[in-house]
């Protein structure tokens, strides 16, 4: 796209709230600004949803909930499939708007358009396969019929790092299951979801089923919604701290909750690994999305027998990454989402270096506009460095050595989180053993990217609970009903 087309695309992004699928200003009359993290400039102003808007969306959602639940699964499926097609048709718009508001390199935004759309297709296919169970009562005195019903109106709260996919991963299974849904996108990146609202309006999703409510300040909107007995579920992707707060709030109204929270993924390289493949995998697991993914490799644990070769190769690859505005054709790595995030990354790097880590490349923020941070490799990271405990969420690879398989696995599991783990080995017995021993919801074996709409995504321990995607993902939006006869 040339710059005129980009300007036209941005101008065409719907600016009002999608209240039940219809564009409406906020009852507060307020708007808030969305900025480009590569230069801090304002891209657009969008309506700033308030409590009244939220309750109006919920009134619409709960009113149409029975009708939507009774809509033929095939019809729900075809709406999702039409949305999948339309997102692809509008891939240029989605990718450019996403890069502008979130910062990632344009090629990564196109990747997310594919990934995000895939949830629409996958759950279009799952909508017609919601099953149940039938059996005879053991006492021989009747039948047990088990059916699935939609849980009811859902609130989805999404983060800024995957502005499309984190929305479709919740919207698609909710709609497939027959739930109505209200989406509150992250304040840094509401525009991509605004485009998705247009897609659903254009494919004829019935009014009331979906609302999209951007807001500058979440709690005044989400608090009253979660306190309202008409809401039945909250699904959240974001930090562990906010997730816990939401679970506490959900208790009062006994809401269903799905919590996809923080990660601290280990990436383990055993001495028998294909080192070049492991470096490729580490580049993907660490640098995808500028390291701003909850599945990002946070710690690279490498057998001391191969640590020099691995770290040298990784360092030359990471040092070659070009940082710049995501829309520039030669940019590999865009800015971090905002100054706050850059401060977090800088603090973690400074702490590790102060405690003895060695900077192999990068290590600081470049001067100039935009919230950039240099692609960085640290080795000899000491065990008390904070970045081994906390999620970095930036382009910083921290390398730590180990000597035996037991030691490598123990180091990998030494975290309160448990979202993803990765490891590289050419020994199939070791592969089976270690996959079993790693304590996380997802494990990549000789793979640096594991996300797939057809697979259950989610964590254990402080990474939360619930699964998104796969055949499991729709279950999060279904209740179980038992009929005795």
Residues within the interface to ligand ADP (CB under 6 A): 157-159, 184, 186-187, 218-219, 222, 238-239, 242, 245
Q: What are phi and psi of 378, to 5 degrees?
A: -115, 135
Least distance (Å) between residue 217 CB and ligand ADP? 8
Catalytic residue at 179? no
How many other CB atoms are there within 10 angstroms of residue 43's CB atom? 15
Strand 420-424 to 442-445 pairing: parallel
Nearest to 361 by CA among 378, 341, 347: 378
Catalytic: which of 50, 126, 179, 294? 294
Q: What are phi and psi of 419, to 5 degrees?
A: -90, -70
- Report the residue number, 117 or 156, with the smaller CB distance to ligand ADP: 156
Q: For tokens 């909750």, name the residue.
A: 257
Strand spans (E) along 228-317:
233-237, 256-260, 265-269, 297-303
Q: What are phi and psi of 42, to 5 degrees?
A: -75, 130
Catalytic: which of 260, 405, 468, 476? 260
122-140 exposure pattern, b = at least 16 Cβ within 10 A, e = fewer: bbbebbeebeeeeeeeeee
- Distance between CA atoms of residues 386 and 365, nearest Å: 19
Least distance (Å) between residue 161 CB and ligand ADP? 7
- Report the residue number, 127 or 293, with the smaller CB distance to ligand ADP: 293
- Distance between CA atoms of residues 308 and 315, nearest Å: 10
Least distance (Å) between residue 134 CB and ligand ADP? 41
- Report the residue number, 23 or 239, with the smaller CB distance to ligand ADP: 239
How many other CB atoms are there within 10 angstroms of residue 3's CB atom? 8
* CA distance to 21, 110, 293, 440, 469, per residue, from 98 (Å): 21, 9, 15, 30, 22
- Report the residue number, 303 or 476, with the smaller CB distance to ligand ADP: 476
Catalytic residue at 260? yes
- Distance between CA atoms of residues 32 and 326, nearest Å: 23
Least distance (Å) between residue 319 CB and ligand ADP? 27
Least distance (Å) between residue 342 CB and ligand ADP? 13
Do 206 and 67 meet the contact criterion of CB atoms below 8 Å apart? yes
- Report the residue number, 301 or 342, with the smaller CB distance to ligand ADP: 342
- Report the residue number, 54 or 401, with the smaller CB distance to ligand ADP: 54
What region, left, alpha or beta, does residue 287 occupy, with left being phi > 0 and alpha being psi -120 to 50 degrees? alpha
Residue nearest to ligand ADP (CB): 238
Catalytic residue numbers read 260, 294
């Amino acid at each position: 796209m040339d710059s005129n087309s980009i300007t036209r695309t941005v101008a065409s992004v719907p600016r009002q709230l999608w209240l039940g699928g219809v564009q409406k200003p906020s009852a507060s009359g307020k708007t808030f600004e969305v900025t480009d993290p590569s230069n801090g400039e304002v891209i657009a102003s969008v309506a700033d949803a308030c409590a009244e808007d939220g309750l109006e969306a919920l009134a619409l959602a709960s009113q149409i909930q029975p009708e939507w639940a009774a809509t033929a699964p095939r019809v729900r499926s075809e709406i999702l499939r039409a949305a999948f097609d339309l997102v692809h048709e509008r891939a240029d718009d989605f990718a450019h708007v996403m890069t502008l508001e979130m910062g990632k390199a344009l090629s990564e935004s196109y990747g997310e358009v594919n990934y995000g759309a895939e949830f629409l297709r996958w759950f279009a296919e799952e909508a017609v396969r919601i099953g149940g169970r039938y059996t005879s009562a053991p006492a021989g005195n009747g039948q047990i019929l088990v059916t699935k019903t939609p849980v009811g109106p859902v609130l989805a709260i999404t983060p800024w790092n995957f502005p499309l996919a984190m929305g479709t991963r919740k919207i698609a299974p909710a709609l497939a299951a027959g739930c109505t849904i209200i989406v509150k996108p992250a304040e840094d990146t509401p525009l991509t979801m605004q485009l998705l609202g247009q897609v659903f309006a254009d494919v004829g999703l019935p009014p009331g089923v979906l609302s999209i409510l951007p807001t500058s300040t979440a709690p005044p909107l989400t608090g009253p919604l979660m306190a309202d007995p008409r809401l039945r579920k909250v699904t959240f992707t974001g930090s562990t701290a906010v997730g816990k707060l939401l679970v506490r709030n959900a208790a009062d109204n006994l809401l269903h909750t799905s919590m996809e929270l923080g990660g601290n993924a280990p990436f383990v390289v055993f001495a028998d690994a294909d080192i070049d493949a492991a470096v490729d995998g580490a580049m993907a697991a660490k640098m995808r999305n500028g390291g701003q993914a909850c599945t990002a490799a946070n710690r690279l644990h490498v057998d001391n027998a191969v640590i020099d070769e691995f770290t040298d190769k990784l360092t030359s690859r990471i040092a070659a990454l070009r940082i710049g505005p995501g829309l520039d054709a030669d940019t590999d790595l865009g800015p971090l989402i905002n100054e706050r995030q850059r401060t977090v990354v800088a603090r973690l790097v400074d702490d590790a270096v102060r405690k003895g880590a060695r900077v192999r490349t990068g290590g600081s923020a470049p001067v100039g506009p935009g919230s950039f941070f240099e692609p960085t490799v640290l080795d000899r990271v000491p065990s008390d460095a904070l970045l081994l405990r906390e999620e970095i969420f930036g382009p910083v690879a921290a390398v730590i050595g180990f000597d035996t398989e037991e030691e490598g696995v123990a180091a990998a599991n030494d975290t309160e989180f448990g979202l993803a783990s990765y490891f590289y080995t050419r020994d199939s017995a070791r592969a089976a053993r270690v996959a079993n021993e790693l304590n996380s919801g997802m494990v990549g074996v000789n793979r640096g990217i594991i996300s797939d709409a057809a697979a259950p995504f989610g964590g254990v321990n402080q990474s939360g609970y619930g699964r998104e995607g796969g055949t499991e993902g729709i279950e999060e939006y279904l209740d179980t009903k038992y009929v005795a006869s």
